[in-house]
Structure formats: C-alpha cells, structure tokens
Chain A
Amino acid sequence: MTRALYIFTAAWQGFSRNAVMSVASTVTVALMLLLFAFFAVTDQGLRSAITLLESKVELTTYISDDAKISDILALKARIEKDAAVSRVDYVSKQDALDSLRKLSAGGTLGPIEDIGTNPLPASLEIKLARAQESGRVAEELRGEVGSGVITEVVDNPQIVDQLLTITRVLSIGGIAVLAMMLFVALFVIVNTIRIAVHARRDEIEIMQLVGATDRLIAAPFVLEGMLVGAFGAIVALGGLAVGAGPVTSTLIRFLEILPVTLGPAFVTQLAAGVFLSALLIGAGGASISVRTYLAK
C-alpha cells in the first residue's frame, strides 16, 4: 500500500509540477488522437460504402432456350455451392420480358413493339459474397458456354478491380496514417517523460543507491506517461463528442446514396480504442524514456 501510494503520488507530482510541459504534451497527444478518431470515422464510412458496393457486384449467366429445366436447376445448385457466391436467382424468359415491359411503362425505356415472340433469354443472376472472386467465377462459367445450358456470361471486371483497388488503398493508407499518428504521440510522450526523468535524477540516484528495483523506479514515470495519455484521450473524446454530430451528418450527406451508419457500437468501440491506445502509448513512451536512462 505504501509503495502503491508512493507510485501514485510521485506520478501525480511529476505531472503537476511540470505543468506547462504536461499540458503541452496532453494537448499534442489529444490532437493526434482526435485525428486518429476522425480518420477512424471516415474509414468506417468509406468501408461501409465499399461493402455495400461490393454486395452489388453480380454476374449474369444467360441460358439457352433449349436447356432442360433439370439442367438449369442443377447448374443453379452447383453455383450456389461456391463459397464466393451469396445468392443465385433464376430469371425466366417471361420474368425478363415483364421487367422490360415495366421499364418501358415507367418511361425508362421508349415504347416497345409487340413482335409476337419473346426474344429475351432466361438467366441466372449471381450475387457475390466475395467481389474479388468475381473473375474466377465468371471464367469457370465461361468454360461451360456452348455445352447446352449457358450461352453467355456477363460480368463487369473493371468495376470490381476499381473497388478492390480502393479497398486495398484504404487498408494500407489507413495503417500508414494510424502508425504515423501513434508514432508522433509516442515521440511526444518519450520526450515529456525524458524531461521528467531529468528533473528527478537526484531522486532516481538515491533510489538506486538504497536498493530500489528498476521496476519500482520506472513505475511512477510509466504512470505519469499513462496520465498524459489518459488526459489526452479525454480531451480528444470530448472534442469528438462535440464535433461528431456535424462531421457524421456531413459524411452521411456526402455519401447519401449509401446507407452509411455509425451506430452506438462503433462509437463505443472507437472511444475504447482511443482510450486504450492512449494508455498504451503513454506507458510505452514512458518506459522507453526511463529504461533508456536507467540503462546508462
């Protein structure tokens, strides 16, 4: 208890006696965390959009007019078994014609003339669970063109490739930006604690002489680093709470065609993530400073 009290008291004294530096570090860390949180919100919005777009990726397989219904059903069942496929819908010749008529009546297309027969083929509309496998699924089905059931396979590889590129850029860019933010925050804390260590070098020397362990010597500094991180997180989350409304509504307006949601679960996860990152950076940065000093 005495030791724990000493650690807490020394950490708080370190933070409060060096107030200017502590406040400056807290504000810097808060800004980094705020940028980090803002990036996380934006990233979440864009990822929701990408997921939605990916779910829209589909293939259409046109069926020969001469194909037997049993062969069509067998093909449908086979496609459904593919893990990359989420759903397969059979569109009969009549369904296709009805859709065309509906489009025509709605004015989307011009008036269509009744030519007596239905020229539209039946088809299987394939929705994909994994957009990146669209090319493979299409190629496999193209291999069956002319075998009696499939007459043509239509996909849109360009859109899929673009979507995949955006996803990849977001992932790599996100990690890079995140790493940069965290590095800057870590750097700030390392320097703050280095100054605190220097200010208390006499105390450290005495602790070493009387036989305090390195772990106990480091403990108040690590806690002080965590205090800087925690206060920084509180300021950042406060800023986020104030700014979250306008930012998210702008984001949702910007992507209004897409049902982007930042629900309470995401907000809780974000707050916990920001706080935990801040504590870890605080403890890590302080450990680096004090251990470097003690190893001299």
Chain B
Amino acid sequence: MITLDDVSKRYPNGTYALRDIDLRIDAGEFVFAVGSSGAGKSTLNRLLIREELPTTGRVVVDGQDVARLPRGRVAHLRRKVGIVFQDFKLLQTKTVAENVAFALIVTGHDGKTVREETERALALVGLTQRRGHFPRELSGGEQQRTAIARALVMRPKILVADEPTGNLDPVTTWEIIKLLVRVNELGTTLIVATHNAEIVNALRRRVVHLDHGRIVRDEREGQYAA
C-alpha cells in the first residue's frame, strides 16, 4: 500500500527532516509514528499526500510514485489518502453536515451521493444528532469526529492522522482512538502520528519510531519507548 525507498527530505537551509527512510506499510495496517517534535512525523505524512516532495528516494502510495504524478493527478491521490489534523481544520461558517458534504461536493459528486455518503459518515462517527451544529457549538472531540467524518466520506484507502488527540482531554482522546480503531477494522490503512505514550502502549500496534529524521525502531506490537 505504502512504500518509501531510501527517502530523504532536506530543506534549502540544509536541515534534514527525514533521512534514508525505508518503510513498507501493507493494506489494512494500523501504524503509530512516534517521536519527539521535529523527529519527522509530520513530514512523513506530508510526503504521503504530496504536500511535499522527497529530495531523494521514492514514495509509492497505492502503486503510484507520488513524485512523478502530474499536478493534475495529485487531487486524485488525495481522494485515496484522507488526512486529519490536531487543529481539525473545519470551516466555521458551515455546519457539521456541510463540512462533511463539502469534501464530496468539491470533488464533483452528485447530490444523491453527497446526501447518502454524508449521512453514512456522520453515523459512523456518531454525529447524526449534531449534524446541524456549527463547529463553535461542538466539543473538541466532536470537532475531531467531524474532521474524521470529512476524511472518511471520501472512502479513502489510507487515513493519515497527524496528532489527532493533541488538543483533547484524556476521555475524549480515547473516544477518538476507539473511532480510529473501528475505521481500521473496516479496512482502512491507518497511520497515526502521536506523542501520546498511553494510547500507543495500550493498543500495542505497529510502532515506527523516528528520531532526527531517521527510523530508529520499527516494531510489530510496539510500545512508545523501547
């Protein structure tokens, strides 16, 4: 599903965000990317949606070398790779349902599909009852669930979550993690970048530990710290 071959990302000032990364993630896996701030977790996520290009090496997502994708095909790659962020990135002037439907509308789906798929995604994240509320009327957890619904409504093969619980209290954090586990059980490949040792240790999924841009540990049923 995802292959990184000898990938390095160097910024113009000479700093390496990622260095000599070899990584293979199979379809249906749940992978935690852990490491301190600046370890390269977010850069790894941005490479997968081609928000950044590798300086050297090859990033292959669902059989496509992302660096070789023409600009016009990047949009199609992003329909396969959903992404959620720590700060939710919701549109404040749209309701929960409108935020979710927005993804389908701007990717050219017809009205019937927009209605049906929006309802399905809202039901999956448990927000059907809150569909008419605006983001400012929601808790942090509900906002993150809206963001997850917006990503899932496109039925992506891969879901990348960049510090999805960074802004949430412990109880809400677990709600979101349980939701992500359920999404993974439904067949979506999950990559979760996190600082949260408690959830990594509790779930015992694959852990890829990054330090100064290098993979220093890759364990099948790993813990936050070795």
Contacts and interface: CB of A to CB of B under 8 A. Distances in A.
Contacts of A1: 110-111
A179 interface: no
B75 A213 contact: yes
B107 A212 contact: yes
Contact of B72 (A2, A6, A202, A213): A213
B158 interface: no
Interface in A198-218: 202-203, 205-214, 216-217
Interface stretch (B12-20, B25-33, B76-84, B184-192): B76-84
A3 B111 CA distance: 9
Contacts of A216: 106-108
A206 B91 contact: yes
Contacts, number: 57
Contact of A207 (B71, B76, B106, B154): B106
B134 interface: no
A171 to B, nearest CB: 42
Interface in B149-164: 150-151, 154
B217 interface: no
B113 to A, nearest CB: 9
B109 interface: yes
Contacts of B109: 2
Contacts of B105: 2-3, 6
B197 to A, nearest CB: 28
B210 interface: no
Contact of B91 (A203, A209, A214): A203
A209 B106 contact: no
B91 A211 contact: no
Contacts of A2: 105, 109-111, 114
Nearest to A217: B106
A216 B106 CA distance: 7
Contacts of B108: 3, 216
Contacts of A203: 91
Contact of A209 (B71, B76, B78): B78
Which of B75, B77, B110 lies at the interface centre, i.e. has the most chain A CB atoms within 10 A of its CB?
A: B75
Sorted from nearest, which 6 A-B pairs have the closest CB atoms?
A: A211-B79, A211-B78, A212-B106, A210-B103, A211-B75, A2-B111
5 contacts: A2-B114, A207-B106, A210-B103, A210-B151, A216-B108
